[in-house]
Amino acid sequence: MSTPILQIDQLRKAFGGLVAVNTVSFAVAEGELLGLIGPNGSGKTTTMNLISGALVPTSGEVRLDGKKISGASPAAISGAGIARTFQLVRVLPGMTVIENVMAGAVFSRARLWGRAAEARAVELLARVGLEERAHLPLSAMTYIDQKRVELARALAANPRVLLLDEWLAGLNPTELNQAIDLLRGIHREGMTIVMVEHVMDAIRSLCSRCVVMNLGTKIAEGGTDAVLSDRNVMEAYLGVE
């Protein structure tokens, strides 16, 4: 591919003796929706944390548009254009829904304030289907609605790359379909997305390409169908027969 928008280059993270991410490399093209999958404990979320700046790599680099972002603070990386959702939803409990979304727009790459920020927040809340509830406090929201707030907040940051950390977890079938449609729509508008997921149906229907990790190492990369029928991948998930 031509210069990928996001390049993970020999990324490694060790916590003392435990190597959580072991020399992982892959690239994400602009406008792509890449799936990052693997069994529990494979290092997917750690990789997300390394990209978003929550963790600093032990060695290796993360590059956005060819420029190194690894090692910088999360605030700087946000300014460069990375936004994310969190595995355990982290909404701001003391603020209203619209304030939560505005929080994404004010200090990040979007840099909006006042009426402009509010307007953008309203626009994004409509996008995720929450326009009626803009002025409610977070305590009044269901889990899936809180996830939608998180997504709107991440979009409000006007990111170059959106990181979704198991955003589809814990949804019933109806909610899941709605969520998949929502993501498909956002992707169609041109957003580059990296999704860590366990829900295989979603991966199959959304991602054209996947990277598979197991025990910190990348064990497969390629088209979704090919990867999911790969012997190594099946063994990783199901254990050796």
Partner 1 sequence: MKRSEIQGLGLAAVLLAAAALLPFLTEGFYLTLALNLAIYVALCTAWTLFSGPTHLVSLATAAFFGVGTYAVAIGIDFLPFPLLILCGGLAGALFATVIGAATLRLSGVYFVIFTLGLAELTRQIIAYLQTKVFGSMGLFVMTDHTEGDLFLYLVGLIGLIFATGWLIGRSRLGFALRVIGNDELVARHFGIKVARTKIILFAVSGAFIGMAGAILAPRYAYIEPQAAFNPTMSFMVVIMALLGGTRRLWGPLVGVVPFTLLSDFVSANFPDHINIVIGLAFLGIVYLLPDGVTGALEKLMQRRGGSTPTGDVR
Q: Is 74 in the site for partner 1 (CB under 8 A)?
A: yes
- Of 5 and 89, which CB lies nearer to partner 1 in the complex structure? 89
CB of 102 to partner 1, least distance (A): 8
Tell me how far apart the alpha carbons of residues 206 and 184 are, in angstroms, rounded to a whole number. 7
- Of 20 and 163, which CB lies nearer to partner 1 in the complex structure? 163
* Contacting residue, 7, 46, 52, 146, with partner 1 by CB under 8 A: 52
The 10 Å CB-count burial string (b at 16+, else e) for 123-150 is ebbebbebeebbeeebeebeebbbbbbb
Backbone φ and ψ for 144, nearest 5 degrees, come out as -70, -35
CB of 158 to partner 1, least distance (A): 11
Would you list the DSSP string of 11-66?
A: EEEEETTEEEEEEEEEEE-TT-EEEEE-STTSSHHHHHHHHHTSS--SEEEEEETT
Q: Is 79 in the site for partner 1 (CB under 8 A)?
A: yes
Q: Is 137 in the site for partner 1 (CB under 8 A)?
A: yes
Kind of pairing between the strands at 192-196 and 161-165: parallel
* Contacting residue, 92, 119, 200, 234, with partner 1 by CB under 8 A: 92
Would you call 165 helix, strand, or coil by DSSP?
A: strand
For residue 51, the number of C-alpha atoms closer than 13 Å in the C-beta half-sphere is: 34
Span interacting with partner 1, options 19-27, 74-82, 189-197, 204-212, rule CB under 8 A:
74-82
CB of 85 to partner 1, least distance (A): 10
Q: Is 146 in the site for partner 1 (CB under 8 A)?
A: no
Contacting residues toward partner 1, per CB under 8 A: 52-54, 73-75, 78-79, 83-84, 86, 90, 92-96, 99, 102-104, 106-109, 113, 137, 139-140, 153, 157
